[in-house]
Structure 1
Amino acid sequence: MTLTPEFLDANYVERDGVRLAYGDVGPKDGPVVFLVHGLAASGMQFTADAHFFAKWGYRVIVPDLRGHGRSSAPTGKKSEDFSIAEMAKDIIAIADHIEASVFHYVGNSLGGILALWALKEHGARFRSFASFGTSYSLRTPEAGVGLLKWIYKLLGPNLIGRIGAVGTTKNKAARPIVRAMLTAIDIDVVTQIVGHVGNYNLIDNALAYPGPIMLLRCGHDKSVNSALGPTLSKMKSQDDFTLIEVPDGGHCANLDATDRVRQYLLEFWQTTEQNER
């Protein structure tokens, strides 16, 4: 059955002139879970997961990052408006808005990077941190922003969406979701963010965080896996760090290894909550 691209109903909060959209489903008194998408995606990626986890009693918050989905972009779209720090502060602003003092956090790709930055100043609010498609550090050649824009202009959003969907997930039923997200990207936003996430090292933030961390290493996510060496060499000795192999997962593992990812996350949160008692 083909999955329908759809958003959760939107709620909004404003921070520094940016209108941030987020979905909010599940019991208001349930444990709070953030599901945060990556670059060039949107909260649409997690709509089905949000409904699933809500049935388990969780209050699930699914943001659209600034310049993605239904969230606005800062006027002028300057580079400094899309730093890792600024985008991470948006997540904390949403948490403040819903009065969530603590929460579980799941980040895919850029969503995971934002959490790694936030752990330094807001680690006490993270009950747990899980990620997939995220390396805790990255060092790549300077991105060719001009080339990215040229490719986008040459191919156009519709072809970018079709090609990207096939390359992102092997699950044909999920490709309409990926295609819809990629077709809707703002190339100026994407290229500004690329300028910030090509070189970073947030491993120390993860090492200093005292709570449980789970990293899902997905078999089909070759580019991220090739960058995980420094992350794993430092993190594997940490008592509260768990590495989970997801052989059939791609970069957006929740879309192509859905049942497995959901199972791992539920077990992770439930174990965390039991250990807190």
Structure 2
Amino acid sequence: MYGLNMQYVAVERFVPIGYSLIGPKKDVPLVICHGLGAYHIQWETEARQLAQSRPVLTIDLRGHGASAVVRNGQIEDYSLERMARDVIGVIEHCGFDRVHFLGNSLGGMIGLEIARTRPDLLRSLVTCGTAFKFKLSPLVVWTKLVIYYLLGRRLPKFIARHATINEAMRPLVEEMYANASRKVMHLIDRQIYIFDRLETAQAFEGHLIVMRGERDTTINRYLDRSIEVLKNKINFHVIDLPGVGHFTNLDQPALFQSCLKEALDRVEESAENACPPS
């Protein structure tokens, strides 16, 4: 069903990270990073379309998709810092020194962590389904674990039914979560139930673009507070997507792709206009 050719690089010893790089060797590359439990197949349509004009690098986070699960992994093996180092390592392995970064949910959190530690790598950061600051109860983390195991083999169908209103995309979601490690998802849940990169977002000097799905109500409850703080920031933009949920590219793919391309074109145009004439 899916055909991106995966390559591998071990940024950290014994933890090979799977990635796919397609597109011409021109213009600023786009790096795409998925959310918790997902992997690169979520983004294959977008990757192939955008790769007509620029390099597109899709990366599977450790413990997801084509990337390795850490043997006897513990909570510290799945910290945002270590996952961000993996992504940075792949970007550098591919020879890129400046990229656009698109992250969905956990992928957006990884993008914000890169903006904190290596802002020089990012020309723009596009997040979707990502709140910049929130705090959940630890009870939520353990309740999710119970649900993961109580649903058993029904978990992929359950997630697919709630993830998207686009029935054509539900088999893709089912495939992703049929291959997802419940242990890895729980270890990451334990890392991210308290998250705060709002100051990072405020300090980031590149273009910061939020793609906000109308139906992503849980995330938006937290995200809207951050948007209020950031609304007057230079190079900060919010793109509202009607009828779109947490898996931002799945409900209305054509709308998402159009808005994303327009946003990246705007960033490139801004960069050109900022350059003094030779």
Q: Is 2:164 aligned against 1:183? A: no
Shift of 1:117: 1.0
Relative to structure 1, the CA distance from residue 88 to residue 143 in structure 2 (aligned partners, 3 Å threshold; closer, same or farther) is: farther
Equivalent residue number for residue 48 of structure 2: 51
Shift of 1:38: 0.3
State the Cα deviation string for residues 17-46 of structure 1 (Å, max 9, x = none). 211001111113342101110001011100
How do residues 127-166 of structure 1 correspond to structure 2 at under 5 angstroms?
127-157=123-153, 159-166=154-161
How do residues 247-266 of structure 1 correspond to structure 2 at under 5 angstroms?
247-266=242-261
Amino acid at match of 1:100: F
Task: Tell me which of 58, 69, 94 is aligned to 1:73.
Answer: 69
State the Cα deviation string for residues 204-242 of structure 1 (Å, max 9, x = none). 111111111110111111110111133112111112111
User: In 2, Cα distance between the equivalents of 1:227 and 1:143?
Assistant: 18
User: In 2, Cα distance between the equivalents of 1:172 and 1:228?
Assistant: 27
User: In 1, Cα distance between the equivalents of 2:3 and 2:132?
Assistant: 29
User: In 2, Cα distance between the equivalents of 1:251 and 1:38?
Assistant: 10
Contact 2:159/2:173 (CA < 8 Å) preserved in 1?
yes
State the Cα deviation string for residues 108-139 of structure 1 (Å, max 9, x = none). 00000011111122112111111110000111
How do residues 90-239 of structure 1 correspond to structure 2 at under 5 angstroms?
90-157=86-153, 159-239=154-234
State the Cα deviation string for residues 82-114 of structure 1 (Å, max 9, x = none). 111111111101101101000001000000001
How do residues 81-96 of structure 1 correspond to structure 2 at under 5 angstroms?
81-96=77-92
CA RMSD of aligned residues (A): 1.3
SS in 1 for 2:134: strand
Identity, % of aligned pairs?
A: 29
User: In 1, Cα distance between the equivalents of 2:145 and 2:175?
Assistant: 19
Contact 1:143/1:194 (CA < 8 Å) preserved in 2?
no
Amino acid at match of 1:39: L
Equivalent residue number for residue 34 of structure 2: 37
SS in 1 for 2:51: helix
Q: Is 2:15 aligned against 1:18? A: yes
User: In 1, Cα distance between the equivalents of 2:46 and 2:140?
Assistant: 34
Shift of 1:150: 3.2
TM-score of the aligned structures, taking structure 2 as reference length = 0.94
Shift of 1:195: 0.5
User: In 1, Cα distance between the equivalents of 2:90 and 2:144?
Assistant: 31
User: In 2, Cα distance between the equivalents of 1:140 and 1:153?
Assistant: 21
- Corresponding residue pairs, total: 271
Could you list the runs of 4 or more consecutive aligned residues of structure 1 that deviate by over 6 angstroms after TM superposition?
none
Task: Tell me which of 51, 59, 62 is aligned to 2:58.
Answer: 62
State the Cα deviation string for residues 26-84 of structure 1 (Å, max 9, x = none). 113342101110001011100111001012x1110111110000100222111001111
Amino acid at match of 1:123: P
User: In 2, Cα distance between the equivalents of 1:194 and 1:99?
Assistant: 32
Contact 1:143/1:195 (CA < 8 Å) preserved in 2?
no
Gaps of 5+ in 1: none
Shift of 1:147: 3.8
TM-score of the aligned structures, taking structure 1 as reference length = 0.94
Gaps of 5+ in 2: 273-278
